[in-house]
């Protein structure tokens, strides 16, 4: 006799999956993401945390400072450690944009020299104007 999987194991609520995959810290945060329209399932925006996801679906999640694109590899049965959660998805996210370089500092002083005096500022201004 072969054992068949029930239909409820072939899909899982998106909020539960996000929590299992450790994308969010709590399930209520995952529900807020879904209700706020910050999640797309296969390019379609979802507005409910009860939307069902299946293996092979692609989730696009808009977070504060980044965009995650995750392909679902497994559904999971619990919220396990990171190593177990990492097996639930394949990360297709674009690499983060490079940070802009810090502007060059105008003038360097000896450490502990304090603020420049009026005379020092005039010398610095004269040096800058000569360029």
Average pLDDT over all residues of the chain:
85
Going by pLDDT thresholds of 50, 70 and 90, the confidence category of residue 4 is: very low
Q: For residues 54 and 71, is the Cβ–Cβ distance under 8 A?
A: no
- Stretch 62-68: mean pLDDT: 87
Question: Three-state SS for 58?
Answer: strand
Residue 52 makes CB contacts below 8 A (sequence gap 6+) with 11, 12, 13, 14
Claim: this prediction has a pTM higher than 0.75: no
Residues 6+ apart with CB under 8 A from 35: 47, 48, 49
The pLDDT of residue 61 is above 50: yes
> What are the backbone angles phi and psi of residue 117, rounded to the nearest 5°?
-80, 175
For the segment(s) 9-91, the CATH number from 3.10.290.10, 3.40.50.300, 3.20.20.80, 3.10.20.600 is 3.10.290.10
């Amino acid at each position: 006799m072969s054992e068949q999987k029930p239909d409820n194991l072939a899909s899982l609520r998106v909020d539960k999956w996000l929590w299992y995959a450790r994308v969010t810290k709590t399930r209520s945060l995952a529900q807020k993401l879904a209700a706020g329209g910050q999640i797309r399932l296969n390019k379609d925006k979802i507005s409910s945390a009860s939307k069902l996801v299946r293996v092979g679906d692609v989730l696009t999640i808009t977070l504060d400072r980044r965009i995650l694109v995750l392909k679902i590899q497994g559904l999971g049965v619990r919220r396990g450690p990171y190593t177990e959660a990492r097996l639930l998805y394949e990360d297709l996210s674009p690499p983060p944009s490079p940070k802009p370089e810090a502007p060059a500092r105008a003038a360097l002083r000896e450490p502990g020299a304090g603020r420049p005096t009026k005379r020092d500022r005039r010398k610095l201004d004269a040096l800058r104007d000569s360029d």
